[in-house]
Structure 1
C-alpha cells in the first residue's frame, strides 16, 4: 500500500474512534444538555462569534466554559479561599476574600505583564536572592532580604520594588488563603494531564477532561478511605517536620500551621494537667481529614450514549471555528511561558556561558580553536 492510502486509512480510523471534528460541533448543545441533566449544579456557557444579520441560522463556535457541579461543591467544602483560575461561577458573594494566583500571562496584574524578571535580569545568585525575598515570612526578614538583593543588583531591586509586595512576598500575605504557594504549579500540573486530549474533536476533548476528573476523584477517595486521625496525611507529615524558629512566627498566620514553639507550649500545658486541646486541633480546619472527605464526597456522574441525549431547541446551528492548517508538523504541546519550569525561554544561551577547553582545560575557547 502507498503511504497516501495508509494515511487515509489512519484518518478514517481516528474519526471512528475520536469522532469527526466538524460533526461534533453540531451535537455540542445536545452534549451540554446531557451534562447538565446527569451532573446537577454544573454550569456551561458556550460563546460564539457574532453575526451581522439575525437571519443567519448558523453561529461559529468561539469557546466553551464548563464548571462541574461536583467540583464546585468540593471546592466550597475545602475552606480555603485560594484560586488558581477564575472564581466567577463559584457563587461567591461581593464580600469574598479570595486570593488569586496567576501565571503572569493573562494580564491579571498589568504591571507584571509588561516586563519579566527572567528576560531582563539573569543569574543564579540573583534568582536565589529573589526567592529569599519571596519566602520571607516577616516584614523585617523581607527588608533584610531586599537589602541583600540591592547589593547584588540595584537594577533588579528597583524593578522588584515597583511590584506590590502583597502579590508575591509571603511577608505581606494576608493569611486568608491559608497557603504559602508562590507558583502556579497546581494549574500547571492539571494542564499537563490534558495534553493527550487537546487535539481531539470538541466533545471527545471535553469527555477526556471529564473522565480524567472522575478517575482523579475515585483515586483520592480510595486514599481517604484508608486514612485515620484528625488531619490529612500530607498535613500530618508536614506538621511533624515543622522546625521553624521564633523569627518565623507569622508562619502560623500565613499557612494555618502552628510553629514548633506553639506546639511545645501546648504540650507543656497538657503535661501540667491544664485543659488544652490537642495540638492537632490548633491547625486550621482546611487541613483536617473531615474537610478533605467533604471535598471529594460528591462524584462526577457518567453520561448516557449519544442516542439518549436530549435534543437542543436552539434555532442556531453551531459551526466549528475557522481553522488554518499551518505548514510543517502540528504542535501538540501547549506554548510554555518564560516562567514555566520547563520553558526554554528563560535559559541562558551558550554565548553567556564560560566554555572550557577539553585539551588544555583553560576557559574562553574550545578544543577546536585551542592553540596550546
Structure 2
C-alpha cells in the first residue's frame, strides 16, 4: 500500500493497494482519492478493501508499506492479525542519513535477506564489529517487519521492498495531472488494457508454472548441483552444502531448515537435491499459488465497461462542487520533493529531472581528441596551434 500526491490545482492524495499475481507481477486492487493522508482516510480505505476482498481472517495476509502517516495504526485496527512489513529500501533511506558507506549498506541488506535466525544474528554481529552505532540503530527496529529471518512462513511471499506500488504510481504519473474524472477514466483504461495483455500473454505460455516462477526454480536446480542429500528416514533428508553448511529437509511437511521453501512456496536448492534423489519433478512441489491455472483464475473477473457522460442517469441532486482551492506560495510544483539521498543522485546524474536520459557533464574531465591529453579540447590544443602557425608561416 502506498500514497502519492495529485498534481492538479486542488491537490489531494491518491491511495493505492497493489497485490502480486501468480507470476510475481503487479496486480492493482484498489485506488481512492482523498484530501490528505491521515489515519481517518487510510482507515476508511482499508475498511472498504477488507469488505471488497471479503477478508474474514487477516492472519493469512501480508501488508507491505512505507509507514505513511496513519497507515500503521489503520492496519492494526482493520487487519489486526496480518503480517505488517516495512519496505527495506525505505528503512535503508533512513539508515544512510546517519550511517553512510557501501560496507554498512551491504551488511544491512545481508541482514534483511537472511532467511533463518542464526544467519541473521551472525550478520548483525558482523555489523556491530563494523559500527556500534549502526548496529544499535538497526537493533532498535523490530526484525519481524524487515528481515526474512523473522517473517511468517506459509504466506508464499518473501518480498522486502514496496516496488510494486512505486511502479504503479510511476505509471499513473501523467494521469495524476488530470481532473478527477479524467484521471479515473485514464486509470480505468490502463487497467483494462493491462488485464487484456496479461490474459493473452499467459494464454500463449505453455507449462505448469508461470514464467517468472519457472526461472526461480531453474536457478534452484543449478544451486542443488553443489548439495549432497542423504536419506534419514520418514521422508527426511540431511543436505550437505559447501563451506560446511548443513540443512534438514522434510519432504512430507515441505520444509527446509533454511526456511526459503516455507517463505516462498518454491523449493530451494536443498529441497531440489532431495526431490531429484526421489526421482520426482520439482514442479510438482511448487505451491498452487504459482500455477498457471491460478494465474488464469485471478484474471477471469472482468472490469465492467462504463458508459460515457451522454448516457449517465440524471438525478435531482445539487452538482458536486470542487474542493476548496488554496494556492501555495511560489511556482506550482509538478515534481515531488526528493529525499536527501535522491537529491544528491539527481543533481549528479542529470541536468533536468524531466529528462533522466540526459547525462550531466559537470565534474567530467575534458580530453583532447588530437593529443589525447586532459585539460583542453582540440580547439585549444597546443599541438593544433603549433601546426597551424607552421602552415601559415610556410
TM-score, normalising length: structure 1: 0.64
CA distance in 1, matches of 2:305, 2:137: 51
Given the superposition, is the C-alpha separation of residues 116 and 143 from structure 1 closer, same or farther in structure 2, using an over 3 Å criterion?
Answer: same
**Could you tell me which residue of structure 2 aligns to residue 4 of structure 1?**
none
Task: Select the residue among 238, 256, 277 that pairs with 2:265.
Answer: 256
Task: Select the residue among 314, 322, 325 that pairs with 1:323.
Answer: 325
User: Is the 2:9–2:325 Cα contact (8 Å) retained in structure 1?
Assistant: no
SS in 2 for 1:100: strand
**Could you tell me which residue of structure 2 aligns to residue 153 of structure 1?**
131
Given the superposition, is the C-alpha separation of residues 64 and 87 from structure 1 closer, same or farther in structure 2, using an over 3 Å criterion?
Answer: closer
Deviation per CA, 1:50-89: give whole Å up to 9, x if none: xxxxxxxxxxxx989999xxxxxxxxxxxxxxx9x96564
CA distance in 2, matches of 1:190, 1:338: 23
CA distance in 1, matches of 2:71, 2:199: 34
User: Is the 1:198–1:332 Cα contact (8 Å) retained in structure 2?
Assistant: no
CA distance in 2, matches of 1:304, 1:184: 34
SS in 2 for 1:116: helix
Task: Select the residue among 186, 192, 212 that pairs with 1:208.
Answer: 186
Deviation per CA, 1:253-303: give whole Å up to 9, x if none: 111111123222222222xxxxx5x32121111111111111112222321
Given the superposition, is the C-alpha separation of residues 236 and 304 from structure 1 closer, same or farther in structure 2, using an over 3 Å criterion?
Answer: same
Aligned CA RMSD, in angstroms, stands at 4.0
User: Is the 1:166–1:173 Cα contact (8 Å) retained in structure 2?
Assistant: yes
CA distance in 2, matches of 1:344, 1:164: 29
User: Is the 1:198–1:205 Cα contact (8 Å) retained in structure 2?
Assistant: yes
TM-score, normalising length: structure 2: 0.60
Where does the alignment leave 5 or more consecutive residues of structure 2 unmatched? Answer: 1-7, 11-28, 74-85, 225-240, 248-256, 349-362, 367-374, 376-394
Q: Measure how far apart 1:123 and its partner are.
A: 1.6
User: Is the 1:44–1:65 Cα contact (8 Å) retained in structure 2?
Assistant: no
**Could you tell me which residue of structure 1 aligns to residue 61 of structure 2?**
98
The farther-off stretch of 147-156 and 247-256 is: 247-256
**Could you tell me which residue of structure 2 aligns to residue 289 of structure 1?**
292
Given the superposition, is the C-alpha separation of residues 90 and 300 from structure 1 closer, same or farther in structure 2, using an over 3 Å criterion?
Answer: same
The farther-off stretch of 218-227 and 141-150 is: 218-227
Task: Select the residue among 134, 151, 165 that pairs with 1:173.
Answer: 151
Q: Measure how far apart 1:46 and its partner are.
A: 8.0
**Could you tell me which residue of structure 2 aligns to residue 229 of structure 1?**
207
Q: Measure how far apart 1:357 and its partner are.
A: 12
Question: Relative contact order (alpha carbons < 8 A, sep ≥ 6): 1 or 2 greater?
Answer: 1
Task: Select the residue among 219, 239, 243 that pairs with 1:241.
Answer: 219
Q: Measure how far apart 1:151 and its partner are.
A: 1.0
Task: Select the residue among 94, 100, 111 that pairs with 1:116.
Answer: 94
User: Is the 1:21–1:202 Cα contact (8 Å) retained in structure 2?
Assistant: no
Deviation per CA, 1:18-66: give whole Å up to 9, x if none: xx989xxxxxxxxxxxxxxxxxxx99988799xxxxxxxxxxxx98999
SS in 2 for 1:318: coil
**Could you tell me which residue of structure 2 aligns to residue 8 of structure 1?**
none
How many correspondences in the alignment?
277
- The structure with more strand, counted as a fraction of residues: 2
Q: Measure how far apart 1:249 and its partner are.
A: 2.4
User: What are the residue-to-residue correspondences of 1:42-61 with 2, within 5 Å?
Assistant: none
Given the superposition, is the C-alpha separation of residues 309 and 138 from structure 1 closer, same or farther in structure 2, using an over 3 Å criterion?
Answer: same
User: What are the residue-to-residue correspondences of 1:304-315 with 2, within 5 Å?
Assistant: 304-312=307-315, 315=317
CA distance in 2, matches of 1:64, 1:179: 24
